[in-house]
Amino acid sequence: MNMRKWILLATPLVLLIVTVYAPSIWLRKNEAGSAPAYAAAATSRSSNVLGDIALFAGGCFWSMESSFEKIPGVLSVVSGYTGGHLDKPSYEDVITETTGHLESVEIRYDPSIINYEEMLQVYWRQIDPTDNGGQFFDRGESYTTAIFALNEEQRQLAEASKKALSESGRFNKPIVTQIKNASAFYKAEEYHQDYYLKNPDHYNSYRKASGRDAYFSKIWGADLQVKLTPKAEPYKNVNKAEKLKTLTALQVDVTQHEGTETPFRNEYWDNKQDGIYVDIVSGEPLFSSKDKYDSGTGWPSFFQPLEPGNIVTKEDISLGDIRVEVRSKYANSHLGHLFEDGPKPTGLRYCMNSASMEFIPTAQLDKRGYGKYAKLFN
């Protein structure tokens, strides 16, 4: 039974808990919301955000989302439902415990920062893998734990990780978390997305009272935080001084001295070819033509980056007003500015300088070492 429903029927002994959780019960039972279907191998807040995918069920997806969004290398986390038989289930459907769906999260992550084995290590530290009736306050099949493997490699890694955990001696009961093949994933209602950010007071009260953090500290102790293995950073070791010698005066002025090129008279403002845009100095991937749109400004504009981890923002008051400057992570090149007047789904406008970027058309992606992005354009 869903704990949020059970509380309403509880004895006076738990009335104090009701005062904390009743608003959540009403919210999760009465707000309308549809759950559009997504293919398990291609879901995200935007289908143009690259990255590998992990699909985990770990009880309340509010808590799973809040935990994974803090992990280095995680690009996006979406709360939803998977593993059941009903097409496009809503929260109302899932809490009946008749659809077979589990509350779950779809996580896109950058494998150059965190790999799947490390994602599994983070996952084990977010759940009680010995509980086959739910997780903490939340009871019922929809709150049980499972790893949904998207391919055979993920299944083998998950099986090995589960076996190692079982043999570690850390738990005195069997590990019951299931490993299943991934099936259709359905994004949950919008009010569930980033719930911990939208309703911090209620979420923090809920999480503390659930006992999950106290449990994790007791079980894992000093090993609670996963130590990620440092990964190679291919764009970090570029010889910047030598590269700058090959650039035009405009490219140097824009990237190194925060210059601005002329609108409507630059290389890419009206470029309609398919491909990606990379930093002119380091070559680090920045934007995709899939996310480019005509902003009417005369500069190339995008509603989201291709690789968010390669984008750095900072406050800019050079013109008197406060603006948000956009720079590249590795080359530290000035790219342009970020505004909040863009189109859906992000509402953002990354207004970039052509002089800060090099365009790599799809036909050259493999040859230039950007082959992994070719699937965006298939």
Q: Just list the catalytic residues.
A: 60, 351
d(CA 118, CA 156): 14
Structure tokens at 350: 């990354």
Say if CB 186 and CB 81 are below 8 A apart. yes
Tokens of 293: 């749109």
Distance CA 375, CA 258 (A): 34
In angstroms, how far is CA 174 from the centroid of its own chain? Answer: 31
In the beta sheet, which residues pair with residue 351? 301, 337
Q: d(Cα 103, Cα 98) in Å, to the nearest integer?
A: 13
Neighbours of 11 (CB within 10 A): 6
For residue 29, give the H/E element and its range: helix 15-30
DSSP one-letter string for 186-223: EEPPGGGTTHHHHSHHHHHHHHHHHTHHHHHHHHHGGG
